[in-house]
Amino acid sequence: MDMKSEINLRAEAIEAILKKYLPAEEGYQKQIMEAMNYSILAGGKRLRPMLMQETYRLFGGQSEVIEPFMAAMEMIHTYSLVHDDLPAMDNDEYRRGKKTTHAIYGEAMGILAGDALLNFAFETATKAFEMEPENANIGKALRILATKAGIYGMIGGQVVDVASEGTTDMTKEKLDFIYRLKTGALMEASMLIGAVLAGATKSEQQIVEQVAGEIGLAFQIQDDILDVTSTEEVLGKPIGSDEKNQKFTYVTFEGLEKAKVDVAAITKQAVSHMNQLVVRNEFLNELLVYLIAREK
């Protein structure tokens, strides 16, 4: 299987879905729509909606009801990046090789664009009710989306991450907590929503959530590795930002070589857990491995 080609084909299809759900740039407030759309369309791997769609397919899902959730997930992920890049946070002017939202539209509009994307994500996800009003799993999926994006998920991890900058009391246990929530939670939400909407059993959902958490951890460790070993041209954003912001990372605690070994081990473990399922999606298994070996 040519993974690059397969990923590109799916990413193009996801791009088309995203564009269907983006707001029209009109009205007195059209600048916020422009900033939102710029943020969403600035590029990206579309990893989370891809994981969601492929997990949905894994359990036999065939309806378009997954699509508003795919768009909503990418909006939530994008809003988190827009806010991450702000001067009060990482203060980055480039992401994916392009100017960040606040660098183009100003800091105030960058804040508002993130806020708008978060709100619009849930407005978008609720459109699933119009497609299948009798589908009780839509409500369950919405709750997963809200919980994994909030204080018990991504926001919770981000809070601990920000509060730990410049301190000396970071522990490996706390770092794992940050990674599990800040990065892992949206991965878990993506795959879990796909499983729930497709009607997977409780035990199947548990396996999927575990796999997604492991992939999220490996993904973040790989991100730490790339921040040390990659170049700005390849990565599409400034390297060394973790050191600049005095952030503890997996590389800080374990060293570069041990981090690489752990990424491989965690990925292998995730694939092993995935193989416990009776159902199979060859592309999804290959995708999990491919993502961790990425160079950007």
HEC-encoded secondary structure of 15-76: HHHHHHHCCCCCCCCHHHHHHHHHHHCCCCCCHHHHHHHHHHHHCCCCCCCHHHHHHHHHHH
**Pure H helices in 150-281:** 154-164, 172-182, 184-197, 202-229, 232-235, 241-244, 250-254, 256-274
Q: What is the mean pLDDT of each run of 10 residues along the chain (296 residues)?
A: 89 96 97 98 93 97 97 98 94 89 97 98 98 97 98 96 86 92 96 98 97 94 87 51 66 90 93 93 90 72
For residues 170 and 207, give the distance between their C-alpha atoms in angstroms, rounded to a whole number: 30
Cα(251)–Cα(253) distance, integer angstroms: 5
Q: Calculate the alpha carbon distances from 57 to 61, 78, 97 in Å.
A: 5, 24, 32
DSSP 89: T
Contact 180, 152 (CB under 8 A): no
pLDDT tens across 126-162, in order? 999 999 999 999 999 999 999 999 999 999 999 999 9
Packed helices 172-182 and 154-164: angle between N→C axes, nearest 10 degrees: 140
DSSP class of 230: S
Q: Which amino acid is at 32?
A: I
N-to-C CA span, the chain: 21
What radius of gyration do the chain's Cα atoms show? 18
CA atoms within a 13 Å half-sphere pointing along the CA-CB vector of 115? 7
Q: Specify whether the CB–CB gap between 85 and 101 falls below 8 A.
A: yes
The structural domains of the chain, ordered by start, are 3-292 (1.10.600.10)
- Alpha carbons 190 and 73: distance in angstroms, whole number: 7
Q: What is the pLDDT of residue 190?
A: 98
* pLDDT of the residue at 238: 54
pLDDT, position 218 = 93
